Amino acid sequence: MSTVTAPAFLPFARPALDEATIRGVADVLESGWITSGPKVAEFEAELSKLFAARPVRAFANGTATMETALRVAGIGPGDEVITTSITWVATANVIVAVGATPVFADIDPTTRNIDLQAVEDAITPRTRALMPVYLAGLPVDMDRLYAIARRHGLRVIEDAAQAIGSRWNEKLIGSFGDLVSFSFQANKNITCAEGGCLVLSSHFEARRAEQLRLQGVVRSGLDGMDVVMPGGKSNLTDINAAIGLGQLRRLGEVTRRRAELAKAYFEVARQMQLEDLGIVLPPPTRGQGAITNWHMFQVMLPANAQRAAVMQLMRDAGVGTGVHYPALHLFSYYRSLGWREGMLPQAERAGRSLLTLPLFPAMSTGDVERACAALAAACRQVAR
């Protein structure tokens, strides 16, 4: 009697580590130098090449990069920083951490990124910086963003955590602009397991970032040490850098494969008529000048669909999903700062309804079909 084996569970993300990368980590472990050292320096050099020879500093995570960027820019108590509510809460938390005030602007319902007209409307005499987030890897209109910043004399701190490999007018995000922060956390397009990097506007600011990431220490000679500022400890290890170097070599391949899978999603969604169920797909053409790295494929569920119920039904069918992100201005802490439901209606709608479907390079077209079929079945069931 034959048995039918159920397909393996399909997660929404899965890192791909090749044998060369694993060997690279083993080499670091065998070397005896496992904290910040030659591999971190090599990783920073390769990232600088990628980003048009701009200075780059690697960090233990993408939260530390953003906080460091704020401190490098001199943002502190009494200052306001405009950002979006549809992002991982770290984006706002780092603004609070430096003593500044986060000001949330609503999103564009099509791109799901911060609405640049809402940004301009939110600028006050206390505004010192803009912190856009490139949700799912999609850049905002970079020309308009920087025009606003120049007009009002503001720094721009790009939360490009999800956007490595994305482009604006054929230029890589990070190869131009002001301060640009990337994350290499486990579910990003390339990963260090945990890590991040900050692209800086000058070597002076890069040196300041170095000091901030390791206790404000400045060394001279064999035994000279001074502390010039109260820094923290967010240096990347050589173990993580070895993973990052292996991943960086595959960035082009990974970016191309994610684009192929996104194209497959659009084709399968059309065949299965997902939009007839009230499911809103991401825009297939990503706006004039913007090319996403397809970090995530996010759909908007029908307004009356209970997202948790859809997620559970899809899980029961062997398909994982994610939520990126609840509208963070409605979290308890940010409510304590005066934010309330109804203040950012587009962000609140997205925060209730966005659902991240599986997307990672090892997926097949069959996996895309599984995900779409499970989504369609779940939406039909919750609509009954």
The residue length of the chain stands at 384
Set out the domains of the chain in order of their start, with CATH numbers: 19-248 (3.40.640.10), 251-382 (3.90.1150.10)
Q: What percent of the chain has pLDDT over 70?
A: 98
> Is 188 known to be catalytic?
yes
Q: Residues 298-356: pLDDT tens digits?
A: 999 998 899 999 999 999 999 999 999 999 999 999 999 999 999 999 999 999 999 99
Residues 370-378, mean pLDDT to the nearest whole number: 98
**Residue 214: band (very low, low, confident or very high) from pLDDT cuts 50, 70, 90:** very high
**Residue 7: band (very low, low, confident or very high) from pLDDT cuts 50, 70, 90:** confident
Statement: residue 2 has pLDDT above 90: no
Residues 244-254, mean pLDDT to the nearest whole number: 98
Q: With helix as H, strand as E and coil as C, how does the chain read?
A: CCCCCCCCCECCCCCCCCHHHHHHHHHHHHHCCCCCCHHHHHHHHHHHHHCCCCCEEEECCHHHHHHHHHHHCCCCCCCEEEEECCCCCHHHHHHHHCCCEEEEECECCCCCCECHHHHHHHCCCCEEEEECECHHHCCCCHHHHHHHHHHHCCEEEEECCCCCCCEECCEECCCCCCEEEEECCCCCCCCCCCCEEEECCCHHHHHHHHHHHECCEEEECCCEEEECCCCCECCCCHHHHHHHHHHHCCHHHHHHHHHHHHHHHHHHHHHCCHHHHCCECCCCCCCCCEECCCCCEEEECCCCCCHHHHHHHHHHCCECCECCCCCHHHCHHHHHCCCCCCCCHHHHHHHHHEEEECCCCCCCHHHHHHHHHHHHHHHHHHCC
Statement: residue 173 has pLDDT above 90: yes
Q: Residues 50-103: pLDDT tens digits?
A: 999 999 999 999 999 999 999 999 999 999 999 999 999 999 999 999 999 999
- Mean pLDDT estimate for the chain: 96
Catalytic annotation, pick one of 39, 188, 233, 263: 188
Q: pTM for this structure? A: 0.96
pLDDT for the residue numbered 4: 58
